[in-house]
Amino acid sequence: SIVPQLKLWATNFPQPIEALYYNTAAGDVYGSDDSTFNVSDRPYFPQIEKGETVVTKVMESRASRQPVILVLLPVFSADSKERIGAIGVTILVRNILSKISLIDPGFRGDVLLIDENGQPLSGRKHSTHGKDSDNETQIIVQSIGTGKEGKERVQLTKAKSTIYYQSIPVAHWR
Range 82-106 average pLDDT: 80
**CA gap 160, 153 in Å, rounded:** 7
Cβ-proximal residues to 56 (8 Å cutoff; 6+ apart), any chain: 44, 69, 70, 71
Beta-ladder partners of 71: 55, 89
Region 46-57: mean pLDDT is: 87
CA-closest candidate to residue 30, choices 21, 19, 38, 39: 21
pLDDT at 65 over 70: yes
Residue 127 binned pLDDT confidence (cut-offs 50, 70, 90): very low
DSSP-derived 3-state class of residue 172:
coil
Q: Calculate mean pLDDT across residues 55-80.
A: 85
pLDDT tens column, 24-41:
989 999 988 888 989 899
**Residue range 28-56: average pLDDT?**
89
- Residue 98 contacts residue 85 (beta carbons within 8 Å): no
Q: Is 50 helix (H, G, I), strand (E, B) or coil?
A: coil
| Higher-pLDDT residue of 97, 84 | 84
Helices (H) and strands (E) in the chain, counts: 4, 11
Q: Tell whether pTM > 0.75.
A: no
